[in-house]
Chain A
Amino acid sequence: MKPLRNLLTQKRDYYAGGLMTLIGVGAILEARHYNVGTLFHMGPGFFPIILGVVMSGLGVLIAGVAAVADAEDDDQMSYPKPEWFAWLCILAGPIFFIILGSYFGLLPATFACVFVSALGDRTSTLKGSLILATAVTVFGVGLFSYVLQVSLPMWRWG
């Protein structure tokens, strides 16, 4: 089990380092288009380029440390199996909120957001989620529409 674990952890750090280097290099490439200037008169591009260089270096360092050290020293991460359905539900909640909120108003947006994200938990039931969504909608719309007067209308068409 142990060598396998090491392999997994190390691979994770390679990805982690790679991602950081990618961000760093991306920042440098983008900031090149701004006026860089000199150390005396710094332009808008100077600071981003410094950060980009530092970031790329850190990425290499993360991957490098993982390659040298036996990856035991990292804090213990658990590797639960992917929860694709739950993730989808959680992300779909706010997306429903955006779409329904933009075209139909706060009431349907709230209901859909809570209902859809609630389905992500394995122990939740259809009935339970419906009740929860209704309760949050009544409470939330009351609070935000009446008390706090959020500019989003409760109901609208198109």
Chain B
Amino acid sequence: MVSSALTDLWYGFGIALEPHNVMWCFVGVLIGNIVGVLPGMGVLATISILLPLTFGMKPVGAILMLAGVFYGAQYGGAICSILLNLPCHPPHAVTCLDGYPMTKQGRGGVALGVTVIGSFIGASFGIMEMTFLAPILVQVALQFGPSEVCSLMLLGLLAGSTLARGSPIKGVAMTVFGLLLGIVGADIETGTPRFAFGITELDDGVEIVALALGLFGIAEFMNTVNQTAPIDTKYANVRLRDMWPSKKDFKEAFPAMIRGTFLGSLCALIPGTGPTIASFVSYAVEKKISKNPETFGHGNIRGVACPEASTHSSVQGDFIPTMSLGIPGDAVMALLLGALTIQGIVPGPQLISQHPDVFWGLIASFWIGNIMLVILNVPMIGIWVKLLTIPYRYLYPSAMFFICIGVYSTNNDMFQVGETVAIGIFGYILLQLGFHPAPILLGFVLGPRFEENFRRAMLISRGDLTVFLQRPISAFFVSMCVLLIVAQIFFRARGGKGPKVLVVPGAAE
């Protein structure tokens, strides 16, 4: 098992090291890093803008690049949190607590250095986890019939919508809304146009790029415009030689990184708990086990190292259910699945055997991309700090152009641009009503496959709903769903609250 995984990984390196793939990986992590640094720019919006540009590319290059944007942005987001106290990217919000005090004490460079080291350790572990775990998961998942797939999807959807941000009921409502949006267009079996309201452009369904850019582009800009605080860069002049942690710092931070890595990789295995939850949980744990918890919040280096390592290990681990089961854990993963589908690759357990180049090439590219990111972040820190000072008034109008041209070029159709505007307005209303739109994308991407499998399961069982409880694996997933709901109600009744997340630009993620 181990040796076959290593052989496959070796094959993956062969793919990922092809010159054009190295180039796409670099483009991805570079764009990701830039977007991560820029306050008010989201990963989701960036990936959706790039999505139409990948239509003409080979599947491997396209997915390497889009994935690179995701993990590259995590490196950039930490810079923003530590130097400016701006939690631009939700997973790094918790890093502000100790990162910014360190910056004020003139130790911002050390905090960044520790972040880069911790990120690399976390990411490496997450990649290892994926290398060995994904093939095992696939072995199990290949046995699944429609009823198992259906109940697993139900679990994925429930976890993704209730464990994320904000009220769980509202999260579920957004998922159902996403499922409804996924129905729009011709029915797969009969061809009847559904929810198209006589608009021929809607017969092909809602365009995923238009949906994502409406929700995470236009709606987000409407939410953020004129709300950003002026950026204060007076502590932000960090130079390369400030970044090396002293022996004492390193000794203190290293165990925290290992703990963070471990917690993050655990979170990655639970569907629906992405990097944001991983970083909050690991910060809380680190503070709890510390001998002097009162130093947390005043520039304790462990408060930076632990959540950052955790974020990165969970970011890489997030790919496990997405690539091996075809069940995305969050909106970014849903978007990447959408990208695969556009390339004509059917996501699911058969992906590894049918497209080994995509799967193993992607894993190998994670290593390459992470090494590139370390190189990008250490010597070039001065450039990233400069980027931090670009004001929002230049960013969002430029992004508006990229949104328009990006959506237009998906089908060379101006109708899609109008669709994006309409979705944007509705998305903004949802934001104002306290909904987080990310689960919409989850429901939208899984919806058609969910319906297809549900119909098939019912056809096989002759319309008997108890089939979901008769088959053991399916029954297990269903009971997990019930457990999840009961736990939610229990914690709510007890008044227990998840981590408080600040209202920040990019809040839609």
Contact = CB atoms under 8 A, between A and B. Distances in A.
Given A35-B190, A62-B169, A102-B414, A42 B176 contact: no
Nearest to B188: A44
B218 A94 contact: yes
A58 B405 CA distance: 37
Interface string B155-166: 000000000011
B192 A74 contact: no
A37 to B, nearest CB: 9
B167 A44 contact: no
A9 B167 CA distance: 13
Nearest to A43: B190
A75 B398 contact: no
A52 B177 CA distance: 9
Interface string B421-458: 10011001100111100000000000000010011001
B23 interface: no
A23 B417 contact: no
B291 interface: no
Contact of A48 (B166, B169, B180, B424): B180
B116 interface: no
Contact of B401 (A43, A44, A65, A136): A136
Interface of A is mostly: helix
Contact of A83 (B167, B226, B402, B451): B226
A110 B404 CA distance: 9
Contact of A40 (B169, B414, B463): B463
A94 B179 contact: no
Contacts of B433: 12-13, 15-16, 19
Nearest to A122: B226
Contact of A95 (B421, B497, B501): B421
Interface in B151-210: 165-167, 169-170, 172-173, 176-177, 179-180, 183, 187, 189-190, 192, 194-195, 197
A133 interface: yes
Contacts of A114: 397-398, 400-401
Contact of A98 (B226, B227, B396, B417): B417
B414 A101 contact: yes
Interface string A51-73: 11011001101100100000001
A94 B404 CA distance: 6
Interface residues of B, number: 69
A20 interface: yes
What is the interface residue range for chain A against chain B? 35 or more
A39 interface: yes
A121 to B, nearest CB: 4
Contact of B192 (A34, A47, A90, A106): A34
Nearest to A50: B454
Contacts of A133: 397
B403 A30 contact: no
B463 to A, nearest CB: 3
Contact of A150 (B194, B225, B393, B408): B408
Interface of B is mostly: helix
B397 A132 contact: yes
A77 interface: yes
B173 A97 contact: no
B424 A78 contact: no
A76 B226 contact: no
A117 B425 contact: no
A16 B400 contact: no
Contacts of B192: 34-35, 44
B166 A148 contact: no
B167 A51 contact: no
Contacts of B166: 74-75
A154 interface: no
Nearest to B435: A16
Interface of A: 9, 12-13, 15-16, 19-20, 23, 27, 30-31, 34-35, 38-48, 51-52, 54-55, 58-59, 61-62, 65, 73-78, 80, 83, 86-87, 90-91, 93-95, 97-98, 101-102, 106, 109-110, 113-115, 117-118, 120-124, 128-129, 132-133, 136, 140, 144, 148, 150-152
5 contacts: A16-B435, A74-B434, A91-B424, A97-B408, A106-B405
Interface of B: 53, 165-167, 169-170, 172-173, 176-177, 179-180, 183, 187, 189-190, 192, 194-195, 197, 218, 221-222, 225-227, 391-394, 396-398, 400-405, 408-409, 412, 414, 417-418, 420-421, 424-425, 428-429, 432-435, 451, 454-455, 458-459, 462-463, 465, 492, 495, 497, 500-501, 503
